[in-house]
Structures are given as structure tokens and as C-alpha cells.
Structure 1
Amino acid sequence: MITGGTGGFGRALATKLTAADVTVVLTDLDSERNRQVAADLGCPFLPLDVTDLAANEAVVAQIEAEHGRLDAAYLNAGISAAKSEDALDLDEFMKVVTIDLFGVVHGVQAARPAIKRAGGGAMVVTASLAGLSPMAGDPGYSVAKGGAIAFVRSMAPRLDRDGITISAICPGFADTAIIDRIRDQFTAAKFPVLTAEEVADAMVMAWTSAEPGAAYVIQPGVGVVPYKFKGVPSARTESGETAVVPEALRPPSMR
């Protein structure tokens, strides 16, 4: 299942997966254009508003009913806001966060039981470099993608117990519709942008070999690199020793 499946990344990913004989179900907002994209790719299409949890659950149930199982969920739906350095448009901010962050939360919640029933599998979240290095021009996008990465990291231990690996991919600027309004600036600056195919390759890798909770940076000329999160200073006891986190608060890997 690919949410936001008819956009640039979704199309490129669907092309690679169908070539590998994977049954790919594309989900996206219902429109003639989106249905036609799916038809051109030879993929089943299911309309989905990712901000609606019940709709996410219904789509997963339909995939199981029609195809027997769900092995992987690519939570890829997302939008960005108009870039502005001035007043914060709260309506636009909330729209971006609702789609880009809570769409991921709903997707995980809906797909988890099905992938567990299939004997395990993967969830891959399309985050962004903006989630690791926030952009002043689009705080809603930065908050949503940063939140998605944090959600992936915090959910990884419990999903791992179900045999599900969740990870995030964090592309830099890529050649999709999301940069259309500023594409001329990239051209003028001769700034390299990723192809959708490069990002799709990283998405396939994340299904087959990602580490639970990992975030993978994708940059032109660099490739796919696991991001190394810095630790935070540990608390210390009155005697100056490093304090030990209570066992109930530790992930399974630390117990």
C-alpha cells in the first residue's frame, strides 16, 4: 500500500515494485487524474483521505479482503505550505501537520494489525530533510516531518515486537511537484535535486533492509546515509554518577 501513491515518489516506487512482481495498491484523494495514473501504472486504486482514521482502516480492510494480506505500508502522502517569512498562517500550518503527521499516525494505526496478521513486514514513512534541519520558510512542514521522524523512532520498539520494521526516509529537495513554485530558483543556482527514482530506490531499501526506527538521509551526490542522532546529556545522581533510566521506560533493546 502506498498513500499519496499517485505523486512523484509514489509513481516511481510503484514502477519499481511492480517490475519486481509486487502487487501495489495506490491510495490517494479521489480524482480522475489519480485514477488514471494508477490505471497507467497497472495498479489498483483506492480513494483515501489520510486524515480520516476510519477511512485508513477501511482501505486496509479492503486490501486484505481483495489481496489476502498486507506486507508493507508506504506512508507517503504529504503536502507543503506556501513559503513565507512573515506571519504564520495557522490554518495552513494545521492543514500541513494534519496531513503530513497525523496521516502517518493514522496509517500506522490502521496497517499495524494487518501487517502483523501477515506474519510481519515493514512500514516506511516519507519524512524529509526538513524534519532534521527545519526550514524557516515552512514551519508547518518542518514540524510535521520532525514529528513523523520522532513518531517512527518512538514506535519502532513496539512494532518490532510485532515483526514490523518502521523507518523514515528523509530526502533533500527532489524533482516533484512540491518544488514547482521555486523550481526556477534551483535551476538558476545550479542546485542539484534528487530524481523521484533515487528516492524510490531508498524506499525499496527501507522495506527490505532498514533498521527499526532508523532515518535515512538521501542527498544528490551522497546517496542514502543513515542519520546518526546525537544523544542528550544523561542525568546524574547526587554523587555525580550517571543515573540509570527506570527499566519500565527503557526500550526492549536496553533492558
Structure 2
Amino acid sequence: MEDRRFEGKVALITGAANGIGAGASRRLAESGAHVVVADIDGDRGKVIADEVDGLFVHCDVRDPEHSKAAVAAAVERFGKLDLVALNAGISTGFTLGEDFDPERYRSVMGINLDGVVYGVHAALPALRETGGQIIATASMAGITPTPMDPIYGANKTAVVGLVRSLAPSLQKTGVRVNALCPSFADTAIIGPFRAQLESTNMPIMEVADVVKAFMAIAESDGTGECWFVVPGRESQPFTFRNAPGPRTATGERMSVDPGAFATGQEA
């Protein structure tokens, strides 16, 4: 039986010209969604947009105005916005040693973290109208150490923290936000250390495996979750161990509801 559970939904995907973004675009289109392919790679992006019978928009996620324009284009063409996948990302290829490149560092921060922040800010008004959702592509690098690319690890850890912190306030507006946290997948992002991975027999996943997890998130009803995607295990939300909480003057642990501090004003 044909899967059309996203029939009529409208999805905007950044970094959609290649890799995980292109795979998610195809899968959503197969499920009936109208897809907006957002990327700086116009040639490849237009190919994917044509393939999914969608809309291509040029989008450099480092510029907040580009994110606003992409959202506006989606709403203008399709009338609404239901899902935003903030997927654009790059690796750094350097450490904090002698190879450190401040200019490259700012560019990586702009894509991997600022792009998510700007994307959320731009999309929220439209998503509130539909009770939509945001899926940010983080990484297992946001959950476990990544010695070969510590800056990338810092970016992705920030995305994980952003998703978990946004969820309580956004939930009050009817918007869900979750993170996709894949291990090493066969995309251009692992280029700088592919040889190192292969030499240590580190499994490299197929893009289809990550897209399967992406769709599981899109079809779920949770929020503030960070879904791990690793070889040999079924993808599911990572269970974060409870951090030490406050105690009363007499030593009893206090129960703290994060939602109690979420006014929604920051959203």
C-alpha cells in the first residue's frame, strides 16, 4: 500500500541539494508532501526540486534574511508550512592547534549553528499557524566526543542543547522540535576524515538509513527529543541521564518542571 501520510503537507529542507537533505526531500515527496529545496548549490538543488516536483530556493543559512525569504517562498507557493528540516551542515577539517583557521571557524559556526537559529526564528510564525514541526540535523557528535573535529562537536552539541531547551516553550504554541543525530553516513561531510574512518573499520551508514530515522521523527508525536542513528541499532530518542537537581534546605530533592520556566516569549 502506497504511503501518503504527508499528503498535502508542505516541507522546507535546508541543505537539500545533496546527502541527507536530498534523501529526505525524495522521501517526503513520495509520501505526498510539497517540498521546498533550499540550498546554495543551485545546479544540484534545481535537479532535486525538479525530481520531487517541488520548489528550489537559493538559501545561504548564514544569512537570516535568506531563511526568511525561503519561508516566505514556501508559504507563497504552497499556502502554508508544516515541517522545516534545518539540515545544512559542514565539517571543519581542522583542530584548535596550529591548523586552526578563524575564518573557516566563523563560516562553520554560521552554517552549523546560526543556520539552525535563524531557521527556527524565520519558520516559527508559519509553523504556529499549522501546528507544525522542526527537525534539526545535529549529530552523534552532539552526544559523544568527536576528537577528529572538536569544533563540529561543539556546533552539534549546541544544536542538541537548543532543541532540548526550545521544546517546552514551543510545545505551548503547538510546535514540535526534535533533533536527528546520525553517526557517520556516506555524505560529503565525512570527506576530511573518510580515510581515517575506513582505516579503523568504522561503519559508514547509507543515507537511506538516516532518512528512515528522519521519517520516524516526522511521524512521531514527541518533542525535545534527540534521535540517535547508529549502525546496528534501531533509531530512537537518546535517554539523557537526569542532571543533579536542586534540593530543599533540609536536603530533599526538588522536582523541577522545565516547562514552568517557559513563557513562550523567547520563541
Taking structure 2 as the reference length, the TM-score comes to 0.86
Residue 241 (str. 1) matches residue 259 (str. 2): no
Shift in alpha-carbon separation, 1:177–1:199, aligned structure 2, 3 A:
same
Give the Cα separation in 2 of the matches to 1:115 and 1:188: 44
> Where has structure 1 moved over 6 Å in runs of 4 or more?
none
How many residue pairs get aligned? The number is 251
Provide the aligned C-alpha RMSD in A: 2.1
> What code does the residue aligned with 1:111 have?
A
Q: Does 1:123 align with 2:134?
A: yes
Partner of 1:49: 60
Residue identity opposite 2:241 in structure 1: K
Deviation of 1:251 (Å)? 5.1
* TM-superposition CA deviations, 1:166-188 (whole Å, max 9, x none): 00010000011112333333334
- Indicate which of 170, 176, 179 corresponds to 1:159: 170
User: What's the TM-score, normalizing by structure 1?
Assistant: 0.90
Residue 110 (structure 1) aligned with residue 145 (structure 2) = no
Counterpart position of 1:10: 21
Hey, what does 1:95 align to over in structure 2? 107
- Counterpart of 2:7? none
Percent same amino acid at aligned positions? 35
Aligned to 2:240: 229
Maintained 8 Å contact 1:35/1:45:
yes
Structure 2 runs not aligned, ≥5 long: 1-11
Offset of 1:132 from its aligned partner? 0.8
Q: Which runs of 5+ in 1 are unaligned?
A: none
Q: 1:108 to 1:247 in 2, by over 3 A?
A: closer
Distance 1:236 1:121, change over 3 A: same
Instruction: Measure, in 1, the Cα distance between the counterparts of 2:87 and 2:192.
Output: 21
* CA offsets 1:185-207 (integer angstroms, 9 cap, x no match): 33343322111111111111111
**Cα distance between partner residues in 2 of 1:50 and 1:139:** 21
Question: What pairs with 1:120-199 in structure 2 (closer than 5 Å)?
Answer: 120-199=131-210
SS class of match (1:25): strand
Contact kept? 1:93, 1:139, Cα under 8 Å: no
Q: Output aligned runs, 1:20-31, within 5 Å.
A: 20-31=31-42
